[in-house]
Structure 1
Amino acid sequence: MTARLLSYPLILVLTGLSCLAMLIPALHALVIEDHSVAQAFFYSSVLGLVLVLTVAMAMSGRKRPDNSDIENLASLFLAYTILPLFLALPFYEGLETTSFLNAYVEMVSSLTTTGATLFDRPERLVDSLHLWRGIVGWLGGLLIWVSASAVLASMYLGGFEITVSSEPGQSDLRTARFERASSARRLAQVTKELAPIYLGLTGALWVMLLISGDAPMTAAVHAMSTMSTSGISSVGGVDQATSGFAGEAVIFLFMLFALSRLTFSTDTMNTTRASLLKDPEFRIGMALVIGVPLLLFSRHWLAAFEVDEVESFSDAINALWGGMFTVLSFLSTTGFESASWTTARDWSGLGTPGLVLLGLAILGGGVATTAGGVKLLRVYALYLNGQREMERLIHPSSVGRVSSFSRRIRKRGAFIAWIFFMLFALSLAIVTMVMAALGQDLESALVLTIAALATAGPLTQAAADTPIALIEMSTAAKLVFSAAMVVGRMETLAIIALFNPGLWRD
């Protein structure tokens, strides 16, 4: 049944799932007696389902070949660009006090798990609309989980190109002679394996946040946004939630899933599952989570020493915890700020280290996770290459490691990682210049660009000296920001592969 359903174009299946998802906020709005919002979601759902079923019946009468990987990649691109037009319809009709463009940008931000919101005052949106933002972000996280393993991995994109010997978007010569499972079968298998894990983890986090003291709606939105690393909140952030330290500790544990794919996926070239503690992505991530807060902590400690506040040991512990939570949050591109993050700034008398948050968001999380950024595996490949070059400077006749995996990731993996870094830097420069030309100052343009390309939307509120009001941007700037979010979510290599005519030949 699932395989037959996925034999239809992926964009059609995603539209159908979006229609069904609209029934959840419709039911919620009906329960709280907000009938205008309930009608907006219910009517949009019914009209969408009628359209999807009509197209599906029209396509079922003729035999069509299985969707190829490049067709699924095109559907993924359409999902991030065209589908938000439909997702924004009930949001626009339910809110009634904003333009459709603002609703579209909000849905692109949610679906790409960027989490940048145009509505900086949470009270402007009713709970049903907050719930819809959380659901769209949660579905966007599930989409990237499934597509990374079923689509991008088979095309050696999205970070998987680091560990294979073939060109990104091409087949490995050693495995090309073997017949692979069909695209629909792979999608069905991956969805069957990952969706229950994703749903179960979200449910477990929701229950834990409820026990910690959060309201049901707040706990639900924070649980969905944590698993999807979207950073969406119905109360303005985790620091505004009632769960306090207990809620932050629970969210901290679940954000660790964004550092490594080994909890739910295996490498494209390895059949054995390595230990999580030996996974380079997880080790680099934990080194940053521990090391960066210690550096910030020492900086805070020296500042506090100068103002004779060293005796405040509890504030020092709060500052250290706030640094660890916030560093992991922005490294995973979630973007939640700890309540103790403000305590750290007040304790030290220093401003927000926005440049540190920008750098963490650029690094990003693990391959095949919901995190954005350039991915830790690419950083590891460049680290190995740099380490080997330093060894050759000291011992020119030395021989590198004999492992084929190490040789591949040191040489070809590092080369492709460097190409991706250059493409990322080029995209960063182009989007920054365009945003500056559209009226943004240099600091705001840089923060907006990194927030979009790294899918870390809360940077717009945390990294700049003054929070950036997205709703006040011009129409052209909002469209450029939306396009940058799509590029950041799909990555530049995948978009280049999408427009490669060689991959479209039969």
Structure 2
Amino acid sequence: MNRRMILYILGKMLGVEGVVLLLPALVSFLYGEESGLSFLIVSVILGILFLIFGKKPPEGKTIYGKEGFVIVGIAWILWSLFGALPFFLSGSIPNYLDAFFETVSGFTTTGSTILTDIEILPKGISFWRSLTHWIGGMGVLVFVMMLTSLEDDHSMHLMRAEVPGPEADKLVPRARHSAKILYEMYFVLTAAEVILLMFGGMSFYDALLHAFSTAGTGGFSNRNASVAYYDSAYIDGVITIFMILFGVNFNLYFLIRLKKWKSALKNEELKAYLGIIGVSIVIITVNILHIYGNVAQAFRYASFQVASIITTTGFCTANYDVWPELSKTLLLALMVIGACAGSTGGGIKVSRLLILVKTVRQEIRRILHPKSVTVVRVNGKKIGRDTMQGVYIYFISYILILIVSVLIVSIDNFDFATSFSGVLTTINNVGPGISQVGPIENFYSFSPVSKIVFCIDMLVGRLEVIPYLLIFSPDLWRRKF
């Protein structure tokens, strides 16, 4: 274990966060808010930590898989711990645990909140709250690699530990170049959404915040009623389209950029993802038609909520908690499925679902035809044993963590729908659940213990279990560095 390289990367990462905090500080000062001082204080603290740990690189720069997972797991916790300080120091969220919850929810692009009145937040604080989504969507370490000089080939281990999905492929040989390409596409899509939302009547500030949240598939809004505040079919439509776009594997955008249209459009995960969305919209539209009275309105609200839930964004334009049970159950299923691998969305990922379905089909064929040789393929490529084993480990860990979390949260004595959906929505990085954590509710009433559990679930869900299984493994720390 290369301890010095771990400290160096973590120090550099904290330095980057210190620089990033100058943006919301600038926004605060532009609006004449005192909260800007809290950002500057934290920025100075992080600058000092950078000078201590991240200024001088060690002689041995090589890192491997285990270091990559450890760095990513610790990095997300540190960014959240320091990122929560401006909320706390400014008095916007006077309880530090609540501030930490809000920050973890932001960076993991979950969108769950403890705030009961969002519109009273200072402009700079709201900006920082939504910016955490935009940074966390592509990944904290990917963001750091894009801005810094971590060019060693082994830094790809950081991307593989952080990018969601069963596999993380290189776009180009250099990890830093890959990070820059990802952020180039990310920035273009974000900017396009800002412009289109402004055409719909949003102010630049509102459009920017909602674009940040859409891009990161997080769902934080600066309005108490979320996107429903604008009551605009145009704005609903724009955000719906961009939520779906940000739920697509970014490798496909790279293929489109190279004009490899056929390779991109023939992608099995993309077809399954769009198919699930289409079928879900049709079912829910029919199921809620009696509520809204006409097909156009039912389709508008069904498509927005389906896109919001499957991409794990969490924006709301309707209180789906009062919809029929079929629609609510389908939305809960979409929470679990999530978006595509390599996207900014959460959930178990459509690619894993494809692998599981094909594995079951392979097993049935093997039983029916014992002498036949069957292989699981996705997009024409054979799925290796290591990838399949990783999928199985992920699902087993996911279910165990879900069960344990529900048991702990149930101590608060909320109804089962609240406890279960609260855990489900945080571990899948969705945001709202049902019942008392539904689209018009929040997580404020839970005990400190439950909030800690939710924070762990959000981090575990975003980094997909393995980094934190390693960090909490005694065997890892018994090894000599």
Name the SS of the counterpart of 2:112 in structure 1: coil
Alpha-carbon RMSD: 3.6
State how 1:88-487 maps to structure 2 within 5 Å: 88-96=84-92, 98-143=94-139, 146=142, 150-151=156-157, 154=160, 158-161=164-167, 186-236=174-224, 238-242=226-230, 244-255=232-243, 256-264=245-253, 275-301=263-289, 303=290, 312=293, 315-337=294-316, 339=317, 341=318, 350=324, 353-391=327-365, 400=374, 408-409=382-383, 413-414=387-388, 416-459=390-433, 464=438, 468-487=441-460
Q: Hey, what does 1:176 align to over in structure 2?
A: none
User: Can you give the 5+ residue segments of structure 1 that lack an aligned partner in the other structure?
Assistant: 1-5, 164-179, 267-271
Name the SS of the counterpart of 2:288 in structure 1: helix
Deviations 1:446-478 (A, max 9, x none): 0111111101112367974x8554122111111
Alpha-carbon deviation of 1:43?
Answer: 2.4
Kept in 2, the 8 Å contact 1:107–1:133? The answer is yes
Query: In 2, distance between residues paired with 1:282 and 1:457?
Result: 23
Call closer, same or farther: CA 1:221–1:158 in 2, change over 3 Å: closer
Alpha-carbon deviation of 1:153?
Answer: 6.2
Query: In 2, distance between residues paired with 1:300 and 1:242?
Result: 22
Call closer, same or farther: CA 1:281–1:49 in 2, change over 3 Å: same
Q: Hey, what does 1:11 align to over in structure 2?
A: 10
Q: Hey, what does 1:490 align to over in structure 2?
A: 463
Call closer, same or farther: CA 1:66–1:264 in 2, change over 3 Å: farther
Alpha-carbon deviation of 1:376?
Answer: 0.7
Alpha-carbon deviation of 1:369?
Answer: 1.5
- The count of residues paired between Structure 1 and Structure 2 equals 460
Q: What TM-score, normalized to structure 1?
A: 0.80
Query: In 2, distance between residues paired with 1:258 and 1:393?
Result: 36
Alpha-carbon deviation of 1:68?
Answer: 3.4
User: Can you give the 5+ residue segments of structure 2 that lack an aligned partner in the other structure?
Assistant: 146-154
Kept in 2, the 8 Å contact 1:261–1:366? The answer is no
Name the SS of the counterpart of 1:372 in structure 2: coil
Kept in 2, the 8 Å contact 1:121–1:236? The answer is yes
AA at the equivalent of 1:360: L
Q: Hey, what does 1:171 align to over in structure 2?
A: none
Kept in 2, the 8 Å contact 1:198–1:227? The answer is yes
Query: In 1, distance between residues paired with 2:204 and 2:459?
Result: 31
Kept in 1, the 8 Å contact 2:133–2:218? The answer is yes
Q: What TM-score, normalized to structure 2?
A: 0.84
Alpha-carbon deviation of 1:208?
Answer: 1.5
Out of 28, 49, 52, the residue aligned to residue 51 of structure 1 is 49
Call closer, same or farther: CA 1:369–1:421 in 2, change over 3 Å: same
AA at the equivalent of 2:133: G
Name the SS of the counterpart of 2:230 in structure 1: coil
Query: In 2, distance between residues paired with 1:194 and 1:220?
Result: 19
Call closer, same or farther: CA 1:142–1:502 in 2, change over 3 Å: same
Call closer, same or farther: CA 1:504–1:209 in 2, change over 3 Å: farther
Alpha-carbon deviation of 1:196?
Answer: 2.2
Name the SS of the counterpart of 2:341 in structure 1: coil
Kept in 2, the 8 Å contact 1:362–1:454? The answer is yes
Name the SS of the counterpart of 1:160 in structure 2: coil
Kept in 1, the 8 Å contact 2:71–2:158? The answer is no
> Percent sequence identity over matched residues?
24
Call closer, same or farther: CA 1:227–1:156 in 2, change over 3 Å: closer
Kept in 1, the 8 Å contact 2:214–2:239? The answer is yes
